Amino acid sequence: MPRKRELHDRYFKQAKTEGYAARSAYKLKEIQERHRLIKRGDRVLDLGCAPGSWLQVATELVGPEGRVVGIDLLRTRVPEMTNVNVMEGDIYTTDPITLRAMAYPELTGQPPQFDVVISDMAPNTTGHGDHFLSVRLCRRALEIFPSLLRPGGCATLKVFEGEEFPDFVKECRAAFGSVWIFKPKASRDISRETYIVGKGYARSRH
């Protein structure tokens, strides 16, 4: 077991060397390499963006013509980036229109929806009921997707596996044309986290 932990620690060291806020940067990089969710010029929303490593990766992917918006209860730990807007807020109370307007600051009137929503959100873990809290966060994301994600858009959501996981996967399959379950190599072996990747958003088809 110590050898496995040492292997995973290379992501922590690599993040320090390459200037990312956390090792989780490599999880999004793996998801992107496998599924190509984010394209240049996209508008991307990062739910639960602190400490900021996914913001850093996403802004690299969208390029100067794209824009990334992040929201989290906590403050991010990354320098300001020219095409990134971040707010401290709660996804249960923040108006989706506010987030969309941050992605299109040059527009007046009703802003378009995002091309991609990414989420590395996780509850404060206690070891008791973490899975249920994780699924609850993900269900909140699905609940507000109609106001946030454009038809045909893509998303990835981190969720802890457990007894409600199969039902949540079914809910995702009802909302997206294609759904994959993916655990990046950068995730620790002992972690119950996995990522649901969806393409072709169409809301619920039931």
Question: Measured between alpha carbons, how far is 57 from 52 in angstroms, rounded to an integer?
Answer: 9
Our answer to whether residue 185 is catalytic in this structure is no
Angstrom CA distances, 36 to 32, 116, 199, stand at 5, 11, 10
Q: Please check whether residue 23 is in contact with residue 56, taking contact to mean a CB–CB distance below 8 angstroms.
A: no
Least Cα distance to 68 among 33, 41, 91, 98 occurs for 41
Of 4, 158, 183, 199, the catalytic one is: 158
Annotated active-site positions, please? Answer: 158
